[in-house]
Chains A and B, each alone.
Chain A
């Protein structure tokens, strides 16, 4: 069975500092990896997905199949980045496959 691990429950950085949210997964095949974000009092929303290889709000994530990781990075954190971040994977397609989530990391960006 697939599994997603986010080792940090809490992460604090200062505005302008680089930030990296870690995500490791276990699955023997080729999963699709996602980062979802939940801002305060808002619903869960997709931040980015590895197959699109795009940068959203300055965030990027590279899939490392050798290390089975999909860490989320941003070179200069902003206060508005403070939120709960979930790493998730699916197998079998974005609609057919269930999403398996990690436990989440609360990112706090201090002024």
Chain B
């Protein structure tokens, strides 16, 4: 069965960096695009970024463009999100999710990022 396990969350000061990871299993990772989606406490879902199956195409939401970088290592079935210049408004539960053709078909359980001084 498809499993997505995120890690790397924690408490970080504004302006600092953090790197999230997501290890995938139960499917051929290198054949699927992958998303990061976040959810601030008590708020709705916000799409963050997508990387295509081969890592050659990446797209970002306006609120993170230029600060966050999505990447993947297909040899290790792992998805990454490098988050720089973090702000208080980046505080959220970050979900790793598998891309279908225009939809998201599997989600991890999320890793919590708290940006606070």
Query: Are A and B interaction partners?
Result: no
